Amino acid sequence: MSGKPTRPPVLVVGSDHLVRAGITALVTTAGYSSTCRAPYPVRADSQASMSSNPIWVFVPTLQTPEEAVDLLQGCHSRSVLVSPSLSPLWVWSAGESGIGGFVHMHEPPALLLTAIEEVAAGRRYHSPGYQRTKQSHLVRNDAFFRILSRREQQILAGVCRGEGDEQLGHALGISHLTVAVHRRSIRQKISAHNDRDLVRYAIEWGLHPFAA
């Protein structure tokens, strides 16, 4: 018996039907034996009983940083993320999650096929866009500590929306004094002197509610 090794099926997971269908067509054209489509969200381990052991391709819409981290926590080494953002938080979160592949949605489709092939072979693949963000933002010794906690991200998002400590405390179910403590912690972490600095940081790192 001879011939090419059987390619694993690819399970494309996303909420946008057109994007999901487009990736499905791309992967099918590339010669993969089976391509499935599933509604989003689906965790990478939610169908662990599947005997086909597929490559998972996650195609999330642009979400809040908290949702991004939650999504990536469900990924594993046989998953490829088609990311809606190249912000430092997305790149850092993907690296921490152990996901097998990362490609930005606006990078050439051939890079997605390369990522799938590499992951199927047991290797990792991070696109040029991922590498650029990592080199420009995440090579500093203090990069890890510049990533804010979930609560700090919530506080920062509120600051970007112009909410005061009282309003933020009510929305998050904590006291305004606790909000003030978090705000001081954020400023110390990023060496910010005022709210304008906080908003600038939020935009740079993709933490601003309206950042792309």
Per-residue DSSP letter, 41: P
Task: Say yes or no to pLDDT of 112 above 90.
Answer: yes
pTM: predicted TM-score of the whole model, two decimal places? 0.69
State the chain's mean pLDDT as an integer: 80
Q: How many percent of the chain have pLDDT more than 70?
A: 75
Q: What is the pLDDT of residue 178?
A: 93
Residue type, 172: L
Joined together, the tokens standing for residue 192 give 């910010």
Pairing of strands 79-83, 101-104: parallel
Q: Of 36-50, 65-79, 123-137, which range is least confident?
A: 36-50
Per-residue pLDDT averaged across 62-81, rounded?
70
197 and 190 Cβ atoms separated by less than 8 Å: yes
**Single-letter code of the amino acid located at 40:** Y
Dihedral over alpha carbons 126, 133, 70, 196 (to 10 degrees)? -170
Segment 38-65 mean pLDDT: 63
pLDDT (0 to 100) of residue 90: 83
Average pLDDT over residues 137-149: 69
49 pLDDT exceeds 50? no
Q: How many helices (H) and strands (E) does the chain have?
A: 9, 6
Q: Report the alpha-carbon distance of residue 61 to residue 52 in Å, rounded.
A: 27
pLDDT band at 48 (very low <50, low <70, confident <90, very high): very low
The answer on pLDDT for 86 being more than 50 is yes
Please state, in angstroms and rounded to a whole number, the distance separating the CA atoms of residues 12 and 176: 43
* Residue range 170-192, pLDDT digits in tens: 999 999 999 999 998 888 888 78
